[in-house]
Structure 1
Amino acid sequence: MSNQMPAQIPFLITRPAGKADNLLASLDTSGIAYLYQPLITTAQVSITAQDHQLLQQADAVVFVSISAVSCLQNQFDGARLTAPLFAVGETTALALKRWLGRDVSVPEDQRSEGMLQLPQLQQMTGKQVVAVRGNGGRELTKQTLTARGATVRYVQSYKRVPLLLDGILLCQQWQLAGIRCIVATSNEILQQLFNIVPSEHQYWLQQCDWILVSPRMQESAIALGINAERITLADNANDSALLAAISQLQREYQ
Structure 2
Amino acid sequence: MTAHSLLITRPAGKADGLLASLDQLGYQYLYQPLIATQLVPIKAKEQQWLQQADQLIFVSVSAVTSLQQQLDASTLAAPLRAVGHTTATVLQQWTGREVLYPDDQRSEGVLSMPCMQQVDGQNIVIVRGQSGRELMKQGLQQRGARVRYVQSYHRLPIELDGCALYALWQQQVSCILVTSEEIMRRLFSLLPVEGHDWLRSRYWILVSPRMHDAALTLGIPVSKIILADNANDSALMAAIGHYKRGYL
Question: Which TM-score applies when normalising by structure 1?
Answer: 0.88
Determine helix, strand or coil for the equivalent of 2:171: helix
Determine helix, strand or coil for the equivalent of 2:130: coil
Question: Which TM-score applies when normalising by structure 2?
Answer: 0.90
Task: Kindly state the Cα deviation for residue 108 of structure 1 after the two structures are TM-superposed.
Answer: 4.0
Distance of 1:140 and 1:26 partners within structure 2? 36
Determine helix, strand or coil for the equivalent of 1:180: strand
Large movers: runs of 4+ above 6 Å: none
Distance of 1:135 and 1:67 partners within structure 2? 11
Query: AA paired with 2:109?
Result: G
Distance of 2:247 and 2:223 partners within structure 1? 15
Task: Kindly state the Cα deviation for residue 68 of structure 1 after the two structures are TM-superposed.
Answer: 1.1
| 1:130 aligned residue | 125
* Contact residue 84 and residue 230 of structure 2 kept, 8 A: no
* Contact residue 55 and residue 130 of structure 1 kept, 8 A: yes
| 2:190 aligned residue | 196
Distance of 1:15 and 1:112 partners within structure 2? 22
Superposed CA deviations along residues 168-214 of structure 1, whole A, max 9, x for unmatched, are: 1111111222x111112211111100111011222211211112233
How many correspondences in the alignment? 248
Superposed CA deviations along residues 82-135 of structure 1, whole A, max 9, x for unmatched, are: 111112233323332333222222334444333333322222111111011101
* Contact residue 109 and residue 236 of structure 1 kept, 8 A: no
Distance of 2:133 and 2:58 partners within structure 1? 13
Distance of 1:17 and 1:206 partners within structure 2? 25
Distance 1:52 1:115, change over 3 A: same
Task: Kindly state the Cα deviation for residue 141 of structure 1 after the two structures are TM-superposed.
Answer: 1.9
Task: Kindly state the Cα deviation for residue 224 of structure 1 after the two structures are TM-superposed.
Answer: 2.3
Task: Kindly state the Cα deviation for residue 146 of structure 1 after the two structures are TM-superposed.
Answer: 2.2
Distance of 2:107 and 2:233 partners within structure 1? 17
Distance of 1:214 and 1:104 partners within structure 2? 19
Q: 1:184 aligns with which of 149, 153, 178?
A: 178
* Contact residue 12 and residue 35 of structure 1 kept, 8 A: yes
1:212 aligns with 2:206: yes
Distance of 1:49 and 1:96 partners within structure 2? 22
Q: 1:33 aligns with which of 20, 28, 37?
A: 28
1:21 aligns with 2:16: yes
